[in-house]
A and B are shown apart, each in its own frame.
Chain A
Amino acid sequence: MTAAILSGFVLAALAPWVRKVARGWAGWLLALGPLAIVAYFTAQAPHIADGETLSASLNWIPSLGVDLAFYLDGLSLVFAIIISGIGTLIVLYASAYLAGDALEGHFYLYLLFFMASMLGVVLANNLITLFVFWELTSISSYLLIGFKHDKATSRAAALQALLVTGSGGLAMLAGLVLIGQVTGSSTISDLLSQGDTVRASGLYVPILLLVLLGAFAKSAQVPFHFWLPNAMEAPTPVSAYLHSATMVQAGVYLLARLSPVLGGTDEWRVLVIGAGAATMLTGAYLAWLQTDLKRILAYSTISTLGMLVLLVGIGTPLAAKAAVTVLIAHALYKGALFLVAGSLDHETGTRDVTQLGGLWHALPFTGLAALLAAASMAGLPPLFGFIAKEVFYKAAYEAPDLPALLTTLVVTSSVLLVVAAGLVAIKPFFGARVPTPKPPHEAPLRMVLGPLTLATLGAAFGFVPGLLTEYAIKPATEAILAAPAQVELVLWPGLNVILLLSLLTVTLGAGVYAARARLSPPARRLDVGARVGPALGYQKLLDGTLWLADWQTSILQNGYLRYYLITIVATTVGLMGYATLTRVALGGVLRQPDIRLYEALIVAVILAATLAVTQVRSRLAAVAALGTVGYGIALLYILFGAPDLAMTQFAIETLTVVLFVLVLYRLPRFATLTSRAARRRDALIALSAGALMTLLVLIVTADPSRTRLTSYFAYNSATLAKGRNIVNVILVDFRGLDTLGEITVLSVAAAGVFALLKLRPPRKEEATSAPLAEAEAQPSPEEVKPVSLPAMDATVD
C-alpha cells in the first residue's frame, strides 16, 4: 500500500522526462501509473468488504510519534479508487487538452504529484502525516490553478486558494496536535475508539473549531466558498479533478473520518449542519445564475459539498450511507460534466452558455456524456444520481433535528441544481444553433473517453447498485459510523413521500429552467453576497497584511547595510546580555587563565590587525588586515586541537578575500563619510558585542557539562558512527539534519544573490517584453561578457 501511494511521487518526478521521450504517447503511457493504482485498490475491495483493514507503517520521526503510517478501510478505499480512477482519465484527457502546450510535462508533474498527495491524505493513519499530505495537495492545487502563470487572474486565484486552504490547514494542524495531546496518540485508527475521551476533555470545543476551520476552508464551505469559483482559472481537467471530485472532498473526508472522534455532540451538529446547509443553499442559488459553464459547475460543486457536510453533520446511519452514495454519484457526474465543459471550450472556443446551442450533431459523443451526467445530477431515474438523491432526501426527512426545515432546504437546493444541470447539458447541445468562435467538431478520442466513461458508470450503477453497495458503500458507511450498518440501495423504492419529493424537484426544476429568462434578473439582484461577501473580507485582509508588511519593511529594511548591522548586533547584545546577566551565575567564570607566550603573541597580532582594520585608509589594506585576523584565529584553532575548524577557516578566509576583491572594484573611492559621533556609537556597539562574546566563551568553558559532551562524542562517534573525526561525524551523522538545513539555507542564499544580480529587469525598452522564462534560463555564453577580474593593485586605492 505504501508503494501504491509513494509510487505516484516517483511517477510525477519522471513525468516531464516521459513527456520529452514519448511525445504524443506520453498521456497513454503516464495513465498506466494511476491505472495500476486503481487495479491495486480494486483488488483490495473484497477484503475490505469482509471487514478487514490494511495498515502499513514506515518510521519517520519516531521520537515525536510521527510515522509514515497508512490505513485502508472502507472510507479510504472509496476515496482512493475515486482519486486514482478519475486520475487515470484526467491524465488521458489532459494529454489531448493541453497537446502542444510548452509546459505539458510540468502539468503531468503537478497532476501526478497531486494524485499521490491526495492518496496520502485519505490513507494516512497518523494525524501529522495527514496534515503533511493535506498541505501538499494545497501546494499542488496552487501550482495547477496558476498553471497559466502569465495571466494575472490565474496567479491571483492560485494565491487566493492557497491562502484560504493553507490558513485553514494551519488551524487544522493546531486542532490535530490538541487531539494528540488529549488522547496521547496520533494514530488515527487508535483514535476512533477514543471519542469519549476527546468529547469529555475541556479542549473539545477548541479542537472542534480548529478542525472544522481546516475542513471548511478546504471543502469551500460558507464563508470560505469564494475561492472555489475563482479556482476555475485552472485548466479544465484540473477543475474536474481537484476542484470537484477529489481535493475539495478532503474536508468532507476529514469530517467523516473524525466523526467517531468528534461527532455526536450538540456543538458538532449545530456547526456542521449549519455550515453544510448554508453552503448547500448558497452554492445552488448562485449556480444557476452564472453564464460561464465552469462557474455553474463550480457553484453546484459547492452546493454538493454543502450537502455532504450536512449529511456528515446529521450523523445517523442513514445519513452516513447517503453521504457515501452522494459522494460517488457526484464524483461520476460532476467529473464528466467538467470534462464536457472543457471539451466544449476546446472545440468551440467559448464556454459561455449564452453562446452555445444546438451542438448535438457536431459533438454527439460529448453530448451523450453530458446528457447522461446531467440526468444523474438532476436525479432522474434510472441513473445512479437518482438513487443518491432518494437516500439523501430520506436522510434529511428522517433527521433527528428539524427534519421539516432540512427537507425544505434540501429540496430547494436540488431544484436549483436541476436548473444548473439543464444549463450545462441541454442549453449547449439542443435548441437553436448559435455561432461559436471556432467551427465546432467532436473532441478527440482521449477527450471523449473520460466524460463518457464517467457518465456511463453513473448510468450503469443505477441499474446494478448492489455491486457498489456491497463493496464500497457499506464498508465506507461502517467506517464513518465506526459500527456495523445495514446498507441496501434499490432503484425502485416504491411510491412514498420521498418519491413524491423527487417528482416535485424535477417538475419545479424544469419549470424554473423554462422560465429562467424571467426569473434570473430579479434573483441576481437578491445576491447580496457579491457586495458584502467574504471575498471582500479576504481582499481587505490581504490588503491590510500587505500594508503592514510594507510599513514594517520601510522601517526595518531601510537599505543601509550599516543600520542592518547595528540593528542585528545591538538586538543580540541587548537580549543575550540581559539573559546572561540575569540568569547565569558569573562567580567562578573569571579565573586565572593559563596562557603560553606564543598564544599571547597570536592574540596580540589579532588585536593589532583588528585595530588596523578600523584605522587604515585603504580598503585593500582593510581586507588584508581582516584576513590577518582570520588566519590568526585559525592558528588558535590549531593550537587548541581543532584542525577541522582551522582548515575551514583558512579556506573561508581565502574565498572571502576573493569576494572582497570582486566587490571592492565596484565601490567608489575610499572616503570617510561618517561623523565622529557616529563612529563613537559604532565603536561602542562593536566593543559591547566583543565583550559579550568574551563573556559567553568564558561561561561556556567554565561549564562542566562541556567535558561530558566531549567524552560522549569521543566515545560514540567511533562506536556508533564508525568515524574517528568527531567534528565530521557530528556534521554528517549525529546532527546531519542540522547540516541539511544549513546547506539548504546556503543554497537559498546563493539563489538570492543570483536573483539580485542576474534577474533584474533589463533597464532598456525590452523591460516589458522580456518573458520570465528567458530571464530564468542559464545565461548563454554570448550574454555573459567575459570579465577579467581586476588587478588588485591597479584599481583599488
Chain B
Amino acid sequence: MDSLVLRTATRYLLPLMLLFSIFVLLRGHNAPGGGFVGGLVAASAYALYAIAYDVQRTRQIMPVSPRRLTGVGLLLAVTSGLIGLAAGDPFMTAQRDTRELPVVGKLGTPLLFDIGVYLTVIGVTLTIIFALAEEE
C-alpha cells in the first residue's frame, strides 16, 4: 500500500512490536503471554511491514527466512525435550536452574521450548502470509 504515513509509522512500529513480542514471550511463565502469542505479535509486525512496503523488502530486512525460522523453532523445541533425556529423565521432563530471575522466572527447558514455539509460530505464519502475498 502506497501510504507515507503507514510506511513511516511502520518503521518505528516494527522494532517496538518485536520488542513487545519478546516481552510477551518471556513473561509468559508467570503472567499472561507466552511463545504462541509472542510469535503472533512478531508475525503481525512483519505482516504490517509487508503491507506498508512489500514482501520482498520484508524478506530483506528479516535476518532469517520464515521457513528456516520454522525449522529452527521445531529444532529448539525438540532439543528442549532431549535435554531432559540426556539428564536421565524421560523425554520432555523439565530441567531448571534454581535461581529466580525477574520477569522470566527460572531459566530452564520450558523457556527454551517456549522460544521454539515462538520461532515456529513466526515462521509458519509468515511462510503462509508471504506465499499468499507473492501469489500472482
Contacts and interface: CB of A to CB of B under 8 A. Distances in A.
A790 B55 CA distance: 12
Contacts of B74: 743-744, 747
B90 A723 contact: no
Contacts of A727: 32, 34
Contacts of B47: 655, 658
Contacts of A732: 28-29, 34-35, 110-111, 113-114, 117
A786 B55 contact: yes
B77 interface: yes
Contacts of B73: 743, 747
A721 interface: yes
B8 interface: no
A655 B44 contact: yes
A497 interface: no
A791 interface: yes
A654 B51 CA distance: 13
Nearest to A646: B32
A572 to B, nearest CB: 25
Given A61-B90, A647-B37, A787-B55, A750 B128 contact: yes
Contact-residue bracket for chain A: 35 or more
Nearest to B106: A722
Contacts of B90: 59-63
A751 B30 CA distance: 33
A654 B120 CA distance: 18
Given A753-B131, A757-B131, A784-B56, A740 B92 contact: yes
Interface string A754-797: 10011000000000000000000011010011111111100000
Contact of B29 (A62, A723, A758): A723
Nearest to B70: A747
Contact of B37 (A59, A648, A737): A648
Interface SS of chain A: helix
A652 interface: yes
A3 to B, nearest CB: 11
A746 B120 contact: yes
B129 A662 contact: yes
B123 A747 contact: yes
B81 A740 contact: yes
A743 B119 CA distance: 10
Contacts of A725: 28-34
Contacts of B106: 722
B27 to A, nearest CB: 8
B120 A743 contact: yes
B94 A785 contact: no
A181 interface: no
Interface string B91-124: 1101010000000011010110110110011011
Contacts of A540: none
A452 to B, nearest CB: 41
Interface string B73-96: 110011001000100111110101
Contacts of A655: 40, 43-44, 47, 125, 129
A746 B71 CA distance: 11
Contacts of A68: 85
B54 A787 contact: yes
A60 B135 CA distance: 44
Contacts of A514: none
Contacts, number: 191
Contact of A647 (B32, B70, B114): B32
B41 interface: yes
Contacts of B134: 757-758, 779, 784-785, 787
B1 interface: yes
Contact-residue bracket for chain B: 35 or more
Given A655-B40, A662-B133, A722-B105, A789 B1 contact: yes
A404 to B, nearest CB: 55
Interface in B40-59: 40-41, 43-44, 47, 50-51, 53-57, 59
Contacts of A721: 94, 110
A314 B2 CA distance: 82
A724 interface: yes
A469 to B, nearest CB: 39
B1 A728 contact: no
Given A725-B31, A746-B120, A659 B128 contact: yes
B37 A651 contact: yes
Given A651-B41, A753-B131, A787-B133, A728 B2 contact: no
B29 A728 contact: yes
B94 to A, nearest CB: 5
Nearest to B135: A757
Interface string A720-742: 01111101110111001101100
Contacts of B71: 747
Given A643-B32, A733-B94, A787-B54, A652 B40 contact: yes
A1 to B, nearest CB: 15
Contacts of A737: 81, 91-92
A434 interface: no
A663 interface: yes
A708 interface: no
Most buried by B among A666, A723, A731, A785: A723
Most buried by A among B35, B53, B56, B85: B56
Contact of A731 (B34, B43, B89, B132): B34
A757 to B, nearest CB: 4
Contacts of B44: 651, 654-655, 658
Nearest to A663: B132
Nearest to A747: B70
Contact of A791 (B1, B57, B65, B120): B1
A736 B110 contact: yes
B65 A753 contact: no
22 contacts: A59-B85, A60-B91, A68-B85, A644-B37, A647-B33, A648-B36, A654-B44, A655-B129, A662-B129, A725-B34, A733-B110, A739-B77, A743-B116, A747-B71, A749-B124, A750-B127, A751-B127, A757-B132, A787-B133, A789-B50, A789-B133, A792-B1
Given A658-B44, A740-B92, 9 more contacts: A644-B37, A647-B37, A658-B47, A722-B105, A723-B110, A743-B77, A743-B120, A749-B128, A754-B131
Which 10 pairs, one residue from A and one from B, show the smallest C-beta to C-beta distance? A651-B40, A643-B32, A750-B124, A723-B29, A750-B127, A728-B34, A724-B30, A662-B132, A743-B120, A786-B56
